[in-house]
Structure 1
Amino acid sequence: MPIRNLMAVLAACCIVLPMNVLASLKLPETIKVNPAALNAEPMCDPKISPSWRKAQVIEGVKIEASEICSPDNPHLIAAAVKGTNNISMATLMETGLSPDTIIKTDDIDGDGDPDRIIIKLEVIELNGRTPDFEGVIPTFDIAPGIQPGAWVFAPKTSGMSTENFESIRANSLLRLPSPVIRVEVGDIVQIVLENTHYFPHTIHLHGVDHPFSHHEYGSGKQGNDGVTQTSEINLMPGERRVYEFQPRQAGTMFYHCHVQTHTHLAMGLAGMIIVEENRPNNWLQTLNVGGGHVRHPSVAVKEQYDIEYDLHYHAMDKELTSIIQKYNDPRLIAREMNRRYDLTDSSEDYYTLNGLSFPYTLRESMIVVEPDQKIKLRMLNSGGEFMAVHTHGHKATITHYDGIEQNPAARITRDVFDMAPAQRLDLLLNTTNDGLHSYGAGAWLFHDHREKGITTDGMSEGGSMSMIAYKSYLDDTGLPKVAHGIDLSVFFTKEYYERRLPIWQDLDEAGSLGAPGVRSGIDADTQETVTNLIIGFIIGLLIYTALARKQHIKGAAAAIVSKLKGSKGSKTNE
């Protein structure tokens, strides 16, 4: 067969074979993931008693009802209000706190509440590497199966860091975020930091009225600002330090570690500190562990609002948080964090509200309301980027920026609230159905409108999103009633955030957007390989032919050139 005929046949095969392969393929069956095969969690934490939701009185402290499915321990609230030194041993044993965690004494101004407050905090690692087994301890999930490494300030506790000897789950006091601290204008406050960690730390009272050093209190020249470059030396492991202040201005403030701030703050060593207005008989809930609903609000808040919520937004970089899951040698962790980790190349992967991501935010951080109420929202952004919180169905009014009250005539009402890193906003949420403040009852989302803020490690739905839920839209467990056949339980599975569950598989009976099975016939990868082999063979054959007939090709080329020259000469003679 002449070479050119062979080439024509091979070229035809190159075209026809892929067409035949395509024609032989059949669309695969849709594979449906059986919900029964998923590792589904209870949507409400089974370790939390439903009795905690009720309004009750403990140690003389009136505790408001909570409609959410995972409310705070009411005994813990009572201890935070009265002080661990002023409650019975039976109540203290229900909290897990140390007897000296919150000491309240001395009604200095004679108005019926204590004015000398001592708060003891420790530094705790969550989801860190252990040399004892493969895995991390103590565990704290921000969403199903999601366990970023973290550090937090935590109230001084008694007993174990885990729930019990058989569990590796952190006890309920050791969690993200660092606890909300509440004090009153004029209180003499001492925050005692006991460094139970392997790294140095400090506390900086961001926005809180405090002296630069302790000499104003007659206790020497010890620093009081938390900044190791100017105020004080590092607080080393095993040491303790007292931060003392007597605030003169009320407002929503911020506290955080100021040692290697670019990593320590991002790891979770940050919390809200709120200075309340001075009122008689103003027994405050000094700690709000986990933030959210303030079930014993201050006298000043109750004068103007029906409910109060603390909303602490934070974001974490997976690369940073994984360092403590790779090493348990402090020298190696210090090397990776202080010298090798580059914050300027980082990206945030986990977005939390009060330490949790959706769907766990539905357990603890829903804003539960009724019509015609005024709700106070205190918000903090301790992440490293700007955020834009959007409220569906409502427009709220900004009453305070960074703890400073705004002139009522200059207050802004809107539905998107920009917050810079470290910024705080106080909002008035009015549920009057007037088409402006509220559009009516419902289960309305509120979320960061940077779209990555509603993802968890890039997977949606997740992030810091939660809901403004009217009571009529909650079921008996305190979760939002689902509509249009949507099943929230799929979000309470590890498989969803492992990207193993097709999120649209149940949109129609045919499962047209479900997961495709294995193709019959030649699959696409094999088809591509065969096609590439044929094309490569043809190209190689062409090159071989060109080399084998090089002399013939050169002669033909010379003849063509000669002919062209002859044609040009004829035209010149004419």
Structure 2
Amino acid sequence: MIKRFLSAALGSAFLAWSAGAPAVTALPESKKVELGEVEPFCNSGAPAEWRKAQVLEGVEIRESRLCNPDSPAEIAAFVKGTNNISMQTLMDTNLAADALILSNDMDNDGDPDHYIIKLEVMELNGHSPDFAGVVPTYDIAPGIEPAFWVFAPKTRDMSTRSFASAEANPMLRMPAPVIRVEQGDVVWLVLENTHYFPHSIHLHGVDHPYMDFSGEGNDGVGQTSAMDVMPGQSKTYVIKPRQAGTMYYHCHVQPHTHIPLGLAGMFIVEENRPNNWVQVFNVGAGQVRHPSKAVAEKYDAEYDLHYQSVDKELHKLPQSFNDPRLIARAINQEYDITDATDDYYLLNGRAFPYTLRESLVVVEPNQKIKLRVLNGHTEVLSLHTHGHKAVETHYDGVEQRPEARVRRDVYTLSPAQRLDLELETVDDGLRSFGPGLWMFHDHVERAFTTDGMGEGGSISLIAYKQYLDENGTPHTHGMSLAQYFTKTYWERKISPWQEVFDASLGDPETFVKAEAKPAATKPAASAAEPAAPGNTGRNLFLGLLLGIAGYFAYLNRVKLLEIASEWIAAVRNK
């Protein structure tokens, strides 16, 4: 008993002595970085009336539970045509009077069968000769403004929201607008090239003749079909699509740069039905607030999902010069796509957290939702839906036989591929795991980031309506999203964990920047203030003495215990 007591006593003494010994260095305090200006989750300024289900110009417009809903006046114009709406409704949009002409019910089924659709080419975040910034501005995330070229519906008035604002008007945005037409109708797609480079439109997967009725090339390929459309010129592409499905359109001039710069969009041919006034444009993709008759027969809602990626080096080039010759040289002769890496990953033209304002898939229990997906990346897309397993119904616009359809939770698309998914919200543990805010995202890990910083990229949510407020703000149950709505975060000035557990996961007041290969000629800087020169030698000497004493005590432990026992006995006998 005495031996055990003495062993514990000696051990405790050594531990107490070592605890009191001064450390070589002390960990620095964590620094607190101010978030700076935090954008509100919903700052669109859209009137609450825009989100409500309503009828305008005889067009039934479904509810939108999003922060940034489409304007009802624009939806009415996209369905009826700018030639079939009142002057007041037209003036409530930025559309030109001849942007969309619908006419000639040739089969007497109650809807127009001749479309004249006019597109322009616009630049976003381009070089300004008047000031240091870019114009018109279009942010993909807080403070991030790569240059883009986009197809856009023909508009009137200014390219900005107002004379006092540099922000692009809502018609001018990424991605190029989704275009919808009806199967069997005659479509004249007119490209008015308002840009400083040549462009064209190739109707990828859409049924179209190689030559039009006048003998002009109709495939949009300058090397084989017809000359590219030069600045200031226009070209009409003529189609009468016989097959319905989710297709694609894009510029075919220097496509290795023009497509990544934004000149690409979804082209959807809807099944023919009587009185089928389709929503010809879906600007910004996302929710289709006026679905076609065929979609409404089977589905409770429809969403367009256009994924894109951005190499920031390419997208800086249009911002670098005001001379188109220099931009042409930089893009066509100096830029090398084989050396490129993607930095930004977008869903419907935005990166997280802005995807939450515009690209939520809003659902309710026991619904069936149609998702149309386009992979506009330069690499494979692996789309994963949390909490749901959807069925792949169509590939590249071609319907799959029932026995060939697959239900899964990861859907793989090669670049330019399209996929139609049937998402069901029946809570049976297979189709759905129940209500919530379920993330969906590209599972290629780089797509979780914005310029390598997570969480970013093309993340969005399958949001059950009960988890959203009336402005489309999600009722989350995890960490605050505030930091993601700051420029400071995307400038890499804030630790992702600062607001949660800064003591051990924040940034130290002074720190060493990690490097793959530290320079051999320069010693790495200390993570804290160095210890005083005298303390280092003293602590080393004391540590050696402590080690020697402990080792000596261990070797002579029997004799030391006997001596201690004799000493204790002597003390007791006194």
TM-score range, shorter chain: 0.7 to 0.9
Q: Which of residues 171, 174, 177 is equivalent to 1:173? A: 171
Alignment of 1:84-483 (within 5 A): 84-214=82-212, 217=213, 219=214, 221-483=215-477
Measured in 2, the distance between the counterparts of 1:198 and 1:394 equals 46
User: 1:45 Cα shift?
Assistant: 2.5
Secondary structure of the equivalent of 2:525?
helix
User: 1:33 Cα shift?
Assistant: 2.5
User: 1:526 Cα shift?
Assistant: 7.3
User: 1:50 Cα shift?
Assistant: 2.0
Q: Deviations over 1:459-513 (max 9, x none)?
A: 11111110001011112321211214x11122111111111111101223x6321
Q: Could you tell me which amino acid in structure 1 is paired with residue 308 of structure 2?
A: H
Verify: 1:499 aligned to 2:492, yes or no.
Answer: yes
Alignment of 1:509-520 (within 5 A): 511-518=503-510
Q: Deviations over 1:316-337 (max 9, x none)?
A: 1111001011112111111111
Secondary structure of the equivalent of 2:505?
coil
Measured in 1, the distance between the counterparts of 2:329 and 2:65 equals 46
User: 1:109 Cα shift?
Assistant: 0.6
Equivalent residue for 1:8? none
Q: Which moved more, 1:46-55 or 1:495-504?
A: 46-55
Q: Could you tell me which amino acid in structure 1 is paired with residue 494 of structure 2?
A: L
Measured in 1, the distance between the counterparts of 2:334 and 2:499 equals 45
Give the TM-score, by structure 2 length.
0.85
Secondary structure of the equivalent of 1:506?
helix
Secondary structure of the equivalent of 2:342?
coil
Measured in 2, the distance between the counterparts of 1:472 and 1:528 equals 49
Q: Could you tell me which amino acid in structure 1 is paired with residue 143 of structure 2?
A: G
| Cα pair 1:50 1:69 within 8 Å, conserved | no
Measured in 2, the distance between the counterparts of 1:527 and 1:383 equals 41
Q: Which of residues 42, 45, 50 is equivalent to 2:43? A: 45
Measured in 2, the distance between the counterparts of 1:27 and 1:412 equals 54
| Cα pair 2:25 2:528 within 8 Å, conserved | no
Measured in 2, the distance between the counterparts of 1:478 and 1:512 equals 35
Measured in 2, the distance between the counterparts of 1:524 and 1:341 equals 36
| Cα pair 1:154 1:179 within 8 Å, conserved | yes
Q: Could you tell me which amino acid in structure 1 is paired with residue 391 of structure 2?
A: T
Q: Count residues with an aligned counterpart.
A: 499
Secondary structure of the equivalent of 2:302?
strand
Q: Which moved more, 1:39-48 or 1:444-453?
A: 39-48
User: 1:530 Cα shift?
Assistant: 11
Q: Could you tell me which amino acid in structure 2 is paired with residue 137 of structure 1?
A: V
Q: Deviations over 1:313-359 (max 9, x none)?
A: 11111110010111121111111111111111101111100001100
Measured in 1, the distance between the counterparts of 2:457 and 2:492 equals 15
Measured in 1, the distance between the counterparts of 2:167 and 2:528 equals 49
Secondary structure of the equivalent of 1:301?
helix
Measured in 1, the distance between the counterparts of 2:529 and 2:196 equals 55
Equivalent residue for 1:557? none
Secondary structure of the equivalent of 2:483?
helix
Equivalent residue for 1:5? none
Measured in 2, the distance between the counterparts of 1:144 and 1:527 equals 31
Distance 1:528 1:517, change over 3 A: closer
Measured in 1, the distance between the counterparts of 2:150 and 2:234 equals 16
| Cα pair 1:291 1:310 within 8 Å, conserved | yes
Percent of residue pairs bearing the same amino acid type: 61
Secondary structure of the equivalent of 2:68?
coil
Measured in 2, the distance between the counterparts of 1:526 and 1:42 equals 39
Aligned CA-pair RMSD = 1.8
| Cα pair 2:77 2:85 within 8 Å, conserved | yes
Q: Deviations over 1:394-417 (max 9, x none)?
A: 000000000000001110110000
Q: Which of residues 77, 80, 95 is equivalent to 2:78? A: 80
Secondary structure of the equivalent of 1:512?
helix
- Residue segments in structure 1 that go unaligned for 5+ positions in a row: 1-21, 532-574
Measured in 1, the distance between the counterparts of 2:314 and 2:120 equals 22
| Cα pair 2:189 2:237 within 8 Å, conserved | yes
Measured in 1, the distance between the counterparts of 2:309 and 2:272 equals 33
Measured in 1, the distance between the counterparts of 2:273 and 2:481 equals 43
Q: Deviations over 1:72-104 (max 9, x none)?
A: 111100000000000011101111100000100
Secondary structure of the equivalent of 2:252?
coil
Equivalent residue for 1:552? none
